[in-house]
Chains A and B, each alone.
Chain A
């Protein structure tokens, strides 16, 4: 749930970029960072480097401005590449307000996407996050590569109710990246309760 602090007069929403390793989560954050004007963006912290894809995550704070005397902020996190670590995955999902699931659209990666999504659902259930009513945007990334999995195939495999928002993307070229963030943020705000 959103973190409301009356003392600091701020509301922080936590968005998590989830997905299998190498699907393009960090690339999404890099693009968002590059797109946003200076005054909105904090420092992008990328800890999940090529060498150290172990426990840590990427972190990027965004400040939108003030509404009703409250500073509105979005904290973007990615889950680390190697997700053997239950603890780090849980920490990152804990208190999340929404998830952008970044899927790798390459044929042959379907199973990895499915596994990762299932793991996410399991973690959410552990954390008592109401899975059915939770803002999720599904990003089919790497649409520039071939051969590709069909749009809708992940939802079908998982038996997800149709209507979960899905977006095609090529994160390395910035396509679909802002749409994903925008759609997710709007959903998060609509579902926001005090």
Chain B
């Protein structure tokens, strides 16, 4: 996708604003924040769509001076974000987004039988024990923080 369009970066994000996968060279970009904000933009746009009598806009395009963003819905639960510079390639971007989107949504919408390795990889009791340990260590309560007590 990045190769086909000359895009700087392309992201697949969930509707809740989590980055699912990314490709491209703009590794310096804050993709975590980008994903959260784009999800917010899309939610706002959905509201706008309702007002003008549409159920949902499937594409959002932001045109800048140098960089542009093409955002498209992928299936029901995710979005593809493409950041690119050469605006004359918008047609190509749009086409590739559509193609990749269709392919990805077919995969995403396939009935997921829980992959066996998924269950095998995380052993829940141990996972929880370790994770609780991290929380215990990192979300520490400092001296000055103990003025309040848990009820």
A interface vs B, CB < 8 Å? Answer: 3-8, 12, 14, 35-37, 40, 42-43, 45, 55-57, 59, 61, 64-65, 67-70, 72, 75, 77, 85, 87-88, 90-91, 94-95, 143, 151-152, 165-170, 173-179, 181-183, 185-186, 189-190, 192-194
Top 7 closest pairs, chain A to chain B, by CB:
A176-B148, A95-B16, A91-B43, A182-B139, A168-B148, A87-B47, A67-B130
The reply on B54 being an interface residue by CB < 8 A is no
Asked whether any CB of chain A lies closer than 8 Å to the CB of B110, the reply is no
A36 to B138, CA, bound (A): 7
With contacts A7-B21, A91-B43, A194-B124 taken as known, whether A64 is within 8 angstroms of B134 at the C-beta atoms is: yes
Q: Is the CB of B44 within 8 A of A3?
A: no
Chain A residues near B17: list those with CB within 8 A: 59, 75, 91
Question: Which among A57, A173, A183, A185 has the greatest number of chain B C-beta atoms within 10 A?
Answer: A185
Chain A residues near B103: list those with CB within 8 A.
none
CB distance from B31 to the nearest CB of A (A): 11
Cβ A167 vs Cβ B131 within 8 A:
no
Contact of B145 among A59, A85, A179 (CB under 8 A): A179
Report 10 cross-chain contacts, Cβ distance below 8 Å, ordered by A residue: A3-B18, A6-B118, A43-B32, A95-B16, A169-B148, A173-B144, A173-B147, A175-B146, A182-B135, A194-B122
Which residue of chain B lies nearest to A191 when distances are taken between CB atoms in the complex? B128
Judge whether B113 is part of the interface by a CB distance below 8 angstroms: no
How many residues of B are in contact with the other chain, CB < 8 A?
Answer: 50
Q: Which residue of B lies closest to A32 (CB)?
A: B139
Whether B121 lies near A57 (C-beta < 8 A) is no
Q: Decide: B134 and A8 in contact? CB cutoff 8 A.
A: no
Instruction: State in angstroms the CA–CA spacing of A130 and B97 once bound together.
Output: 36
**B142 and A178 within 8 A (CB):** yes
A59 to B146, CA, bound (A): 26
Neighbouring B residues of A186 by C-beta, 8 Å:
132, 135-136
A194 and B150 contacting across the interface, CB-CB below 8 Å: no
Known A-B contacts A68-B122, A70-B122, A88-B43; A179 and B150 likewise in contact (beta carbons under 8 Å):
yes
Specify the chain A residue showing the minimal Cβ separation from B21: A7
Q: Decide yes or no: A167 and B135 within 8 Å by CB, A61-B32, A91-B40 being known contacts.
A: no
